[in-house]
């Protein structure tokens, strides 16, 4: 009988356990046999609701999760397919989603994805035509089509989040994007890996503050020294292993037998803590050779789950001075959160640029402005006069190149990102919020740069407008406008703000994810 993840997820009496499997780079052989054996043992064990299949983890090529997942699906074990935006444009993503629906694999973990890694003859081209928010929209809209075709089960689409951010800006950016994901159709959450019980609790409280509560699975991992070291160095984006924990793991594994035993015990204790904190389940990773360690984790959890508070001190790895959304003594979400308590200061030149661009937007790119009808008439004239249009386009590009390193996408989104360019400023071109890979405010891909969303929060907080980070779902870039005038496209209603009727209808139907006075989310309307 098929194990149905959807049924388990929405059964309040069920504590969910999912298991992450990583396909190898080969089409067959030992690596495939190992994954299939683990999946078969997971099904026989009876406590695993689904296995998840990673999608080219680290941006490096591996066997498709779709084909290997379909083999596991035939065993009777339900599958969650990781679905990333890194390798396909929106046409390929939609095609892949339709294929998965036809194969019966409708459990999706929708991700922006790691940056492109090494493939045939060098680094692959990063696509990122959509981000994880617009991917959620795609899945939800495809589900409507599936339902209208007579199939009652559309996609069950989940999202990821990394609550282990210790600057105010990164923390707010993560939760603001979660707000957008929830509005866009996400139905469950799987966290990134971390070892901070207070941050795990923070994620549950922030959902209550924002006015929704999605079934949430906390990440649990069987740590080895090599993997712990990679996470500590940021080589697995979003996963956090601090220096103190890395040293502990290395000391434990001086004796490999002791190291394995302690890693299983740590995973079991974290699982018990997560269950005690109200998580709907756990997502177990780090299983590469056999299922036996998973069974040991679940057996041990059963023994200790009623004493979970005894293990909270085992997961106290907050860095000194690290930001937390709520006071440590907070017992209820009714207590005031910590966002915005400290005034934000910007360097003079950044402040000047921000204010200049903000004023320009208010005066010249505001459909409610008194002169908007005049701008529209002028734009029609420029658009219909080749020489005048070329001069305007040249003038636009000179100014925006100097101030924003403009890439001439023709579909400007700087107003959504505190007047920064997502095309030049973000390697993943994300328009809807931060990815999970930043560290201490620095970009996941280029550590010498500030994350553009870290900077976005600082700018909006300085202006008292931090809720701009959750206002609306920003449609994806219109590629047909590339190398054209974004000024004319705005005034003539051709850019992303004149989204397709279907996308606009979908977004306008989304409910708010938080009360207007929550101070963190105001929803999409």
Query: Could you read off the pLDDT tens digit of each residue along the chain, which spans 525 residues?
Result: 577 899 999 999 999 999 999 998 877 778 899 999 999 999 999 999 999 999 988 888 899 999 999 999 999 999 999 999 999 999 999 999 999 999 999 999 999 999 988 888 888 999 999 999 999 999 999 999 999 999 999 999 999 999 999 999 999 999 999 999 999 999 999 999 999 999 999 999 999 888 889 999 999 999 999 999 999 999 999 999 999 999 999 999 999 999 999 999 999 999 999 999 999 999 999 999 999 999 999 999 999 999 999 999 999 999 999 999 998 865 655 557 899 988 899 999 999 999 999 999 999 998 888 899 999 999 999 999 989 989 998 999 998 998 899 999 999 999 999 999 999 999 999 999 999 999 999 999 999 999 999 999 999 999 999 989 988 789 999 999 999 999 999 999 999 987 777 887 787 666 555 544 445 543 333
Whether 285 and 414 share a structural domain: no
Handedness of CA 491, 493, 494, 495 (dihedral sign): positive
For residues 285 and 375, state if they share a domain.
no
Residue 20 lies in a domain: yes
> What is the spatial distance between Cα 479 and Cα 463, in angstroms, rounded to a whole number?
31
Cβ atoms of residues 188 and 214 within 8 Å: yes
Residue 97 lies in a domain: yes
- In a domain, residue 453? The reply is yes
Q: Are residues 85 and 184 in the same domain?
A: yes
Same domain membership, residue 362 and residue 285: no
Beta-strand relationship, 50-53 and 79-84: parallel
- Contact status, residue 510 vs residue 183, Cβ threshold 8 Å: yes
Minimal CA–CA distance to 415: which of 349, 366, 345? 366
Question: Cα dist. 182→188, 457, 485, 513 in Å?
Answer: 9, 20, 33, 7
CA–CA separation, 142 and 264 (whole Å): 40
Coil, helix or strand for 57? helix
Residues 216 and 353 placed together within one structural domain of the fold: no
Cα(102)–Cα(119) distance, rounded to whole angstroms? 29
Alpha carbons within 13 angstroms on the beta-carbon side of residue 347 total 3
- Give the total number of structural domains in the chain: 2
In angstroms, the CA 25 to CA 523 distance is 42
> Are residue 383 and residue 493 in the same domain, yes or no?
yes
Q: CATH number, domain at 94?
A: 3.20.20.220
How many CB atoms neighbour CB 254 within 10 A? 9
pLDDT at residue 513, rounded to an integer: 55
Both 68 and 164 in one domain: the answer is yes
Q: Clarify whether residues 285 and 403 are in a common domain.
A: no
Alpha carbon distance 295, 152 (integer Å): 34
Closest CA to 99 of 135, 67, 137, 56: 67
Q: Is residue 461 included in any domain, yes or no?
A: yes
Cα torsion 388, 394, 395, 399 to 10°: value is: 160
What is the rounded distance in angstroms from the CA atom of residue 521 to the CA atom of residue 33?
Answer: 46
Query: In this structure, is residue 106 part of a structural domain?
Result: yes
Pair type for strands 216-221 and 122-123: unpaired
d(CA 158, CA 142): 15
Instruction: Please list the residues that pair with 108 across neighbouring strands.
Output: 81, 157
Q: How far apart are CA 477 and CA 413, in angstroms?
A: 8
Q: Are residues 88 and 96 in contact, defined by beta-carbon separation less than 8 angstroms?
A: yes
285 and 383 both lie in a single domain: no
Identify whether residues 285 and 380 lie together within a single domain: no
The per-residue pLDDT for 17 is 98
Give the span between the Cα atoms of 135 and 503, in whole angstroms: 12
Which of 191, 255, 263, 281 lies closest to 227 in space, CA to CA? 263
- Residue range(s) defining the domain that contains residue 193: 5-222+281-289
The candidate with the shortest Cα–Cα distance to 162, out of 426, 438, 431, is 438
Structure tokens at 272: 């018990």
User: Phi and psi dihedrals of 492, rounded to 5?
Assistant: -100, 5
Same domain, 396 and 285: no
CA 241-189-97 angle, 5° bins: 115
Q: Is residue 425 part of a domain?
A: yes
Q: Are residues 138 and 61 in the same domain?
A: yes
Q: Give a yes or no: residue 432 inside a domain.
A: yes
Check if the beta carbon of residue 470 is closer than 8 Å to that of residue 523.
yes
Please write down the HEC assignment for all residues of 104-154. Answer: CCCEEEEECCCCCCEECCEECCCCCCCCHHHHHHHHHHHHHHHHHCCCCCC
From the list 100, 183, 232, 91, the residue with the least C-alpha distance to 432 is 183
CA distance 92 to 97: 9
Coil vs helix vs strand at 84 = strand
Residue 418 lies inside a defined structural domain of this protein: yes
Report field, pTM of the whole predicted structure over 0.85: yes
What is the predicted pLDDT for the residue at 512? 52
Amino acid 241: pLDDT: 97
């Amino acid at each position: 009988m098929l194990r149905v993840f959807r049924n388990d997820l929405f059964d309040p009496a069920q504590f969910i356990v999912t298991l992450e499997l990583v396909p190898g780079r080969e089409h067959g052989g030992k690596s495939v046999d190992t994954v299939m054996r683990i999946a078969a043992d997971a099904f026989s064990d009876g406590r695993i609701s689904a296995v998840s299949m990673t999608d080219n983890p680290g941006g490096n090529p591996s066997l498709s999760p779709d084909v290997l997942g379909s083999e596991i699906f035939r065993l009777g074990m339900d599958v969650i397919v990781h679905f990333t935006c890194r390798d396909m444009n929106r046409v390929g993503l939609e095609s892949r989603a339709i294929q998965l629906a036809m194969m019966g694999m409708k459990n999706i973990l929708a991700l922006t994805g790691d940056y492109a890694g090494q493939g045939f003859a060098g680094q692959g081209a990063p696509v990122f035509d959509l981000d994880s928010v617009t991917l959620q929209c795609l899945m939800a809209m495809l589900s409507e089509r599936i339902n209208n075709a007579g199939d009652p089960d559309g996609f069950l689409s989940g999202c990821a989040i990394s609550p282990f951010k210790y600057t105010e800006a990164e923390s707010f950016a993560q939760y603001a994007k979660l707000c957008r994901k929830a509005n866009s159709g996400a139905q469950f959450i799987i966290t990134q890996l971390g070892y901070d019980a207070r941050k795990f609790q923070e994620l549950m409280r922030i959902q209550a503050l924002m006015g929704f509560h999605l079934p949430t699975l906390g990440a649990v991992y069987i740590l080895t020294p090599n993997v712990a070291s990679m996470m500590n160095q940021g080589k697995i984006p979003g996963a956090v292993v601090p220096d103190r924990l890395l040293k502990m793991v290395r000391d434990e594994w001086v004796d490999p037998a002791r190291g394995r035993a302690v890693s299983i015990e740590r995973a079991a204790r974290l699982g018990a803590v997560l269950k005690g904190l109200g998580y709907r389940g756990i997502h177990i990773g780090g299983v590469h050779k056999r299922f036996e360690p998973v069974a040991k984790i679940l057996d041990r959890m059963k023994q200790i789950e009623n004493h979970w508070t005894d293990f909270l001190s085992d997961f106290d790895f907050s860095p000194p001075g690290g930001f937390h959304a709520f006071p440590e003594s907070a017992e209820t979400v009714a207590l005031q959160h910590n966002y915005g308590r400290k005034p934000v200061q910007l360097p003079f030149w950044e402040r000047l640029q921000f204010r200049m661009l903000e004023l320009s937007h208010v005066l010249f790119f505001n459909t409610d402005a008194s002169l908007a009808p005049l701008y529209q008439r002028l734009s029609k004239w420029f658009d219909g006069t080749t020489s005048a249009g070329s001069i305007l386009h040249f003038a636009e590009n000179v100014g925006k190149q100097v101030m924003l390193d403009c890439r001439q996408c023709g579909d400007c989104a700087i107003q959504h990102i505190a007047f920064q360019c997502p095309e030049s400023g973000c390697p993943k071109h994300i328009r809807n919020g931060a990815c999970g890979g930043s560290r201490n405010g620095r970009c996941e891909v280029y550590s010498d740069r500030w994350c553009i969303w870290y900077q976005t929060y600082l700018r909006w907080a300085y202006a008292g407008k931090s809720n701009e980070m959750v206002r609306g779902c920003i449609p994806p870039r219109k590629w047909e406008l590339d190398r054209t005038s974004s000024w004319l496209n705005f005034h003539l209603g051709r850019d992303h703000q004149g989204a397709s009727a279907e996308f606009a209808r979908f977004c306008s139907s989304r409910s708010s994810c938080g009360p207007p006075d929550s101070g963190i989310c105001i929803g999409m309307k």
